[in-house]
Amino acid sequence: DSDYVFNAFTSLKTGRWYHIAAVDDGTTVKTYLNGVPKKTAAGDNSLVDKDFFVMRHLTPGRGVDGKLDDLRFYNRPLTEAEVAALAQ
């Protein structure tokens, strides 16, 4: 079993709120920023039986200095339209 790292965004500006979403359909993970598709990664991305971290950096001491307002998990992949609606 190997770790899976998915770095979706290179940088976000401070002092702003962002809607960030990741949708895993079992074979592909798609990320969205403010309802807009940003990056896709293929592979076995299942979170079952794996540690899951949010707002973490692989390098110790380089975590995210920010706030998380709402974290949701769904029991099915959301469509692009659903992600866009949630970002509004």
Average pLDDT over residues 9-13: 73
CA distance 76 to 88: 20
- Per-residue pLDDT tens for 26-83? 888 888 999 999 888 886 656 666 666 677 767 777 777 778 888 898 999 999 999 9
* Residue 1: predicted pLDDT: 41
| Domain ranges within the chain, ordered by starting residue | 20-87
* Total length of the chain: 88
* Residue 55: predicted pLDDT: 72
Q: Measuring CA to CA, how many Å separate 84 from each of 37, 45, 62, 78, 88? A: 9, 22, 30, 10, 7
Q: Check residue 61 and report its DSSP letter.
A: T
pTM: 0.77
* Residue 26: predicted pLDDT: 84
